[in-house]
Structure 1
Amino acid sequence: MLFMVGIERPQDNHTAWGIIVPAFEELGYGCISAADEQEEVLYRAKEVILLMAEEVIADGHMLSMLNTGFVDYRTKYPEFTEWLAIEVPVEGLKGKQKRVNITLSEPLLARVDAYVGFHHEFKDRSDFLAKAADRYMQSK
């Protein structure tokens, strides 16, 4: 997923590089970090995005709500003079798995299994049902 990351240059040798990821504010989270050295900025930005994405999942939000793409935040955050668009693979993060029992008709279950068997982007029946439910909820 693409994230816009604001970078604030240190004012002197005793302050750190500031990092902000405004996309999380849409869900009511603040996502900030700091790096002591310029070389650490990208690593720290990716680290804080992954940490916050885990928190978002744990709180029951859908990661797709963070997918804002390219947004120009310069006027909203003038102290952050540099902006990076970085790709962070948050889609692979998943919350703690929980087993549930569901009831489906045998014909529907057979269709699901056949579909999963033919479409290898799904690991198994559970993966298909989870992704189908997520897509349905995103469309509403």
Structure 2
Amino acid sequence: MLFMVGIESPADEMQAFGIVIPVFEKLGYGCFSAADSQEEILFKAKEAILLTAEEVINDGHLVDSLNEGYRDYQTLHPKFDQWLALEVPLEALKAKQKRLNITLSESQIVRIDSFVAFHREFKDRSDFLAKAADKLMNSAESVRSCSKVGD
């Protein structure tokens, strides 16, 4: 799917590049990020799009309604002085599960299973591993903001 991405150039070397993906606003979501360098802009924009799209899907919305193609958002977001079109495939986010083969030591498996049995917020080993991976990836992000407006 094609997303229009706005980039706000930093005023000085101590500021980051601002990133906005306005199409999510029509569903009541804000999608923003920042990049410390020009090289990071595409990665940070794609990451923000994927995270916001995942939230949109989890909230029961159809992401296909966001498929507007090229659109000029400059008048709505005048601080963003550069715009680019970024193709981001969202098919992988749709609600299907995919089996994955991983290798863990027997002691890790026993520890994980014991942890999951005691902590009822996890449905099973796979749920635990998925949530642990999400938590680690989210904690590694320096700047990310994508949330439903009003939250």
Interval of TM-score (by shorter of Structure 1 and Structure 2) = 0.5 to 0.7
Please state whether the residue corresponding to 1:39 is helix, strand or coil. Answer: helix
Q: CA deviation at 1:92?
A: 2.3
Aligned to 1:19: 19
Please state whether the residue corresponding to 1:55 is helix, strand or coil. Answer: helix
Instruction: Give the letter aligned to residue 60 of structure 1.
Output: G
What residue ranges of structure 1 are gaps of 5+ in the alignment? Answer: 98-140
C-alpha separation between the residues in 2 aligned to 1:16 and 1:47? 16
Please state whether the residue corresponding to 1:53 is helix, strand or coil. Answer: helix
C-alpha separation between the residues in 2 aligned to 1:56 and 1:95? 12
Matches within 5 A, 1:36-75: 36-75=36-75
More strand per residue:
2
Conserved in 2, the CA contact under 8 Å of 1:63 and 1:91? no
Conserved in 2, the CA contact under 8 Å of 1:35 and 1:44? yes
Asked if 1:10 is matched to 2:10, the reply is yes
Q: CA deviation at 1:64?
A: 0.5
Q: TM-score, normalised by structure 2?
A: 0.62
Q: CA deviation at 1:7?
A: 0.3
C-alpha separation between the residues in 2 aligned to 1:91 and 1:6? 23
Larger radius of gyration: 1
Aligned to 1:133: none
Aligned residues between the structures:
97
C-alpha separation between the residues in 1 aligned to 2:67 and 2:94? 16
Task: Deviation per CA, 1:109-137: give whole Å up to 9, x if none.
Answer: xxxxxxxxxxxxxxxxxxxxxxxxxxxxx
Instruction: Give the letter aligned to residue 56 of structure 2.
Output: V
Q: CA deviation at 1:96?
A: 6.4
Aligned to 1:92: 92
Q: TM-score, normalised by structure 1?
A: 0.67
Instruction: Give the RMSD, CA atoms, in angstroms.
Output: 1.1
C-alpha separation between the residues in 1 aligned to 2:54 and 2:96? 10
Aligned to 2:79: 79
Divergent runs of 4+, >4 A: none
What residue ranges of structure 2 are gaps of 5+ in the alignment? Answer: 98-151
Please state whether the residue corresponding to 1:60 is helix, strand or coil. Answer: coil
Which deviates more, 46-55 or 86-95?
A: 86-95
C-alpha separation between the residues in 2 aligned to 1:2 and 1:55? 18
